C-alpha cells in the first residue's frame, strides 16, 4: 500500500512532489533521519502527519524550507543571530526556533508563538522542496516513541500502509536528528543536541545554555522548553539501562543479573568482553562519534523485538561534539537510568 520510490530517479522525485502538492504526506530522506513530510501551511495535512505517527498533539513539528531567503515566509523576524547560524550551518542539521508568522497553523507549533525551522542538506529533500513549492513540516518518519528511522526499511517497518509513499535515499549520513536551538530566549538555549555541536553553536553565538531536559528527565509537571522532550523516546519495547564502568566491570554486572533474555548494546571493541551475557549488538567504535550517531537507531531497532526483555547499554563517556547527541539519544531511550558497575 505504501509506494517505495527512489531518490536517484527524477520521475520519483516528481511523483513525491505531486503527492505533497495534492495535500498528501510522504516519507523523505534527510541527512539526519527520514522525515514524514507534508505542506506546513495546511492544518489538515499537518493533522495527517500526527495521525500517521501517533504523535501527541503537544509535540510541535519542524518546518523545512529551501533556503534562508524563505525564512520570512514562516517567521516574523530574522535576528542577526539567525543569519549568522544560517551562514555557518545551512543547509545542514541545525533547527532554529524563531517567532512564528500567522500562516503557520497552530497544529505545527502546538499552539506556541514560535516555530522551529531548518534548511536540510539532502539533495533529494531539497529537490522535493523546490518542486513542491511550499514549506514542508517533517517530523521523524517513525511511530511516536520508536527509534528514529535512518533507512527506508525502518520507515516501512513503522508506517507501511499508513502513508502513500517513501522515497528511498539510502542510509542517513548523520543518523541522529537535527540540533535544535531556541533563539527566542536570551541567551539562546540548546533544546536538542545533534549534528551541529554545542561548541560550534557557541563559536557563532557566544553564550548558549543547555536545556535541563537534554541531560536529565523532566518532572511531569515542569513545562519543557521543547514540548517533545517530556516523552519517552527512541525506545525499544524492553527497558534499557546504561551500565557505567569499564567493559569488564560492566560485563560482570550484566552476568550477575542472571537474566535469560537480556541483550547488550555496546561499542565494537567491547563485543568480546560481553560474549556470553546474551545477544550482543554493537553500534560503532567508542572513538568514532560519527559511526555511533549513524548506528545508534538501527541498533536500538534491532533490539526492539519479542525475546529481548532487558537491554544493557554502553554509553560514550565523552560529551563533546557529536558525542553529546549520541549520549542524549541513548540516555533518553534508557529514560536516564544509569547504573555504576565500577
Strands 279-282 and 310-313 come out as unpaired
Output the nine-digit C-alpha cell for 310.
532487558
Q: Does 226 interact with ligand AMP (rule: CB under 6 A)?
A: yes
Residue among 15, 37, 49, 61 that touches ligand AMP (CB under 6 A): 61
The Cα angle at residue 43 between residues 184 and 30, in degrees rounded to 5: 65
Let me know: does 257 contact 326? Beta carbons within 8 Å: no
Largest Cα span, the chain? 58
The CB density around residue 244, as the number of other CB atoms within 10 Å, is: 15
Q: For ligand AMP, which stretch binds (CB under 6 A), given 79-87, 152-160, 177-185, 288-296?
A: 177-185
Q: Quick one: 30 or 277, whose CB is closer to ligand AMP? A: 30
Residue with grid cell 531556541, as numbered in its chain: 182
Strands 165-168 and 179-182 come out as unpaired
Residue among 68, 129, 180, 303 that touches ligand AMP (CB under 6 A): 180
Residue whose Cβ sits closest to ligand AMP: 228
Q: Does 60 interact with ligand AMP (rule: CB under 6 A)?
A: yes
Residue with grid cell 536517484, as numbered in its chain: 8
CA 260 from centroid of its chain's CA atoms: 32
In the 8-state DSSP scheme, what is residue 298?
H
Output the nine-digit C-alpha cell for 311.
537491554
DSSP 95-141: EEEEEBPTTS-HHHHTT-SEEEEE----HHHHHHHHHH-S-EE--BS
Q: Does 59 interact with ligand AMP (rule: CB under 6 A)?
A: yes
Q: Quick one: 13 or 33, whose CB is closer to Mg ion? A: 33
The CB density around residue 43, as the number of other CB atoms within 10 Å, is: 14
Q: Quick one: 57 or 310, whose CB is closer to ligand AMP? A: 57
Residue among 31, 177, 270, 298 that touches ligand AMP (CB under 6 A): 177
Q: For ligand AMP, which stretch binds (CB under 6 A), given 158-166, 176-184, 257-265, 272-280?
A: 176-184
Lay out the site mask for ligand AMP across 65-94 (x = CB under 6 A, - = otherwise). Answer: ------------------------------
Q: Does 139 interact with ligand AMP (rule: CB under 6 A)?
A: yes
Residue among 81, 140, 277, 328 that touches ligand AMP (CB under 6 A): 140
Total interface residues for ligand AMP by CB under 6 A? 21
Let me know: does 41 contact 136? Beta carbons within 8 Å: no
Identify residues 118-147 at the interface with Mg ion (CB under 5 A): 140
Lay out the site mask for ligand AMP across 99-118 (x = CB under 6 A, - = otherwise). Answer: ----------x--x-xxx--
Q: Quick one: 90 or 234, whose CB is closer to Mg ion? A: 234
Residues that bind ligand AMP (CB under 6 A): 59-62, 97, 109, 112, 114-116, 139-140, 177, 180, 182, 191-192, 226-229
Residues that bind Mg ion (CB under 5 A): 140
Amino acid at each position: 500500500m505504501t509506494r517505495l520510490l527512489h531518490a536517484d530517479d527524477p520521475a520519483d522525485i516528481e511523483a513525491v512532489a505531486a503527492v505533497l502538492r495534492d495535500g498528501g504526506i510522504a516519507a523523505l530522506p534527510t541527512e539526519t533521519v527520514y522525515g514524514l513530510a507534508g505542506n506546513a501551511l495546511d492544518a489538515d495535512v499537518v493533522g495527517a502527519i500526527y495521525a500517521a505517527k501517533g504523535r501527541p498533539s503537544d509535540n510541535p513539528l519542524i518546518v523545512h524550507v529551501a533556503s534562508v531567503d524563505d525564512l520570512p515566509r514562516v517567521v516574523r523576524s530574522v535576528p542577526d543571530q539567525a543569519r549568522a547560524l544560517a551562514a555557518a550551518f545551512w543547509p545542514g542539521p541545525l533547527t532554529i526556533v524563531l517567532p512564528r508568522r500567522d500562516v503557520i497553523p497552530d497544529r505545527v507549533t502546538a499552539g506556541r508563538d514560535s516555530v522551529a525551522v531548518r534548511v536540510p542538506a539532502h539533495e533529494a529533500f531539497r529537490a522535493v522542496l523546490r518542486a513542491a513549492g511550499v514549506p514542508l513540516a517533517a517530523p521523524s518518519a517513525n511511530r511516536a516513541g520508536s527509534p528514529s528511522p535512518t533507512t527506508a526499511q525502518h520507515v516501512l517497518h513503522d508506517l507501511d500502509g499508513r502513508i502513500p509513499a517513501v522515497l528511498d535515499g539510502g542510509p542517513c549520513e548523520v543518523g541522529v536528528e537535527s540540533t535544535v536551538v531556541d533563539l527566542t530566549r536570551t541567551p539562546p538555549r540548546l533544546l536538542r543536541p545533534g549534528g551541529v555541536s554545542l561548541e560550534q553553536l557557541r563559536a557563532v553565538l557566544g553564550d548558549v545554555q543547555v536545556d535541563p531536559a537534554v541531560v536529565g528527565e523532566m518532572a511531569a509537571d515542569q513545562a519543557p522548553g521543547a514540548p517533545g522532550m517530556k516523552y519517552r523516546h527512541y525506545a525499544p519495547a524492553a527497558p534499557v539501562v546504561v551500565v557505567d564502568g569499564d567493559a569488564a566491570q560492566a560485563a560482570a554486572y550484566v552476568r550477575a543479573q542472571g537474566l535469560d533474555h537480556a541483550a547488550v548494546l555496546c561499542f565494537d571493541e567491547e563485543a568480546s568482553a560481553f560474549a556470553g551475557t546474551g545477544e550482543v549488538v554493537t553500534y560503532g567504535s567508542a572513538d568514532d562519534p560519527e559511526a555511533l550517531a549513524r548506528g545508534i537507531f538501527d541498533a536500538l531497532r534491532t533490539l526492539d523485538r519479542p525475546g529481548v526483555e532487558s537491554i544493557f547499554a554502553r554509553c560514550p563517556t565523552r560529551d563533546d561534539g557529536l558525542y553529546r547527541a549520541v549520549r542524549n539519544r541513548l540516555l533518553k531511550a534508557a529514560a536516564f537510568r544509569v547504573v555504576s558497575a565500577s
